[in-house]
Every structure is written in structure tokens, then in C-alpha cells.
């Protein structure tokens, strides 16, 4: 597989691209993260989401600890070629480290953020390994 397609991505000065992960079946937006060139290449090659952890400054194979991997269904690029949309099949039905289905569980109601989604599995249970 040629790497030329990676050259089309407009990487930030830090060599990253923002990535939106969306559940391919439900359409739910699961999470937002970043990839560098190697992460995007590996994601395409392995068919599982591999991000770049900006805090840990290393590749982050999503689900490496929790088992909640993301199987890649589609990889999309936007009009400015600087944002990636990843459609995935979310293993375990949990994308968020809080044990929720997705990360966007806080909804603005009037002037308050309200938690709308239940914890499906206790994080202590998820990360006990």
C-alpha cells in the first residue's frame, strides 16, 4: 500500500491532525483525538484506531488497556484536508474512559452542563488489568 495518500493530509505544525471518531452504525460521535502520520498509517494498515496521545507523547492504540478497541469501517478527510473522520465499530460499546458509551455526555441546559449518559461499566473495573 502506497503512502502517498498520507501526503494529502494538511498536518499541523506539530505534525498532527484532529480526528473525530463516529460509531458507524448509530452515527453517535464517540470521541475526539489526534493522530500523527504514523498513527494514521497504522490505523489504515491494522484496521484499528491508533491515536497520538499528546499528553503522553506516544502512540496510543485505543483499547490497549480497556479492550475497547475501535475497528475501522471508514476513513474520511474533509474539504481542507486537515480533519479526519473515522467511522468505527466500538468494541464493548464503550468509547469513554469514564465507562460511558461516548465522551460527549454533558449537555448544556439553560446555563448548566447536565450529565445525560449513564456509566455502563465502572472505570476501576475497566482498567484493573
* Chosen residue from 12, 32, 38, 127 binding a copy of itself by CB under 8 A: 32
CA-CA distance, 41 to 89, in Å (whole number)? 18
11 binds a copy of itself (CB under 8 A): no
CA-CA distance, 18 to 85, in Å (whole number)? 9
CB of 107 to a copy of itself, least distance (A): 5
Residue carrying C-alpha cell 473525530: 20
1 binds a copy of itself (CB under 8 A): yes
Backbone torsions φ then ψ of 70, nearest 5 degrees: -120, 115
Q: Closer CB to a copy of itself, residue 59 or residue 103?
A: 103
> With left for phi above 0 and alpha for psi between -120 and 50, is residue 108 left, alpha or beta?
beta
Please, which of residues 34-93 interact with a copy of itself by CB under 8 A? 44, 74-81, 83, 85
Q: Closer CB to a copy of itself, residue 40 or residue 69?
A: 40
C-alpha cell at 127: 482498567
The number of C-alpha atoms within 13 Å of 33 and in the hemisphere containing its C-beta is: 29
Q: Which residues bind a copy of itself (CB under 8 A)?
A: 1-5, 8, 18, 20, 22, 26-29, 31-32, 44, 74-81, 83, 85, 96-98, 100, 103-108, 110-113
Amino acid at each position: 500500500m502506497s503512502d502517498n495518500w498520507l501526503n494529502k493530509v494538511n498536518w499541523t505544525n506539530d505534525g498532527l491532525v484532529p480526528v473525530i471518531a463516529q460509531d458507524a452504525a448509530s452515527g453517535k460521535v464517540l470521541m475526539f483525538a489526534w493522530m500523527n502520520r504514523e498513527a494514521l498509517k497504522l490505523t489504515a494498515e491494522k484496521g484499528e484506531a491508533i491515536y497520538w496521545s499528546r499528553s503522553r507523547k506516544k502512540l496510543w492504540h485505543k483499547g490497549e488497556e480497556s479492550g475497547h478497541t475501535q475497528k475501522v469501517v471508514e476513513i474520511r478527510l474533509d474539504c481542507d484536508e486537515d480533519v479526519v473522520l473515522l467511522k468505527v465499530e466500538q468494541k464493548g460499546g464503550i468509547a469513554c474512559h469514564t465507562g460511558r458509551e461516548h465522551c460527549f455526555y454533558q449537555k448544556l441546559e439553560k446555563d448548566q452542563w447536565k450529565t445525560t449518559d449513564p456509566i455502563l461499566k465502572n472505570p476501576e473495573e475497566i482498567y484493573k488489568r
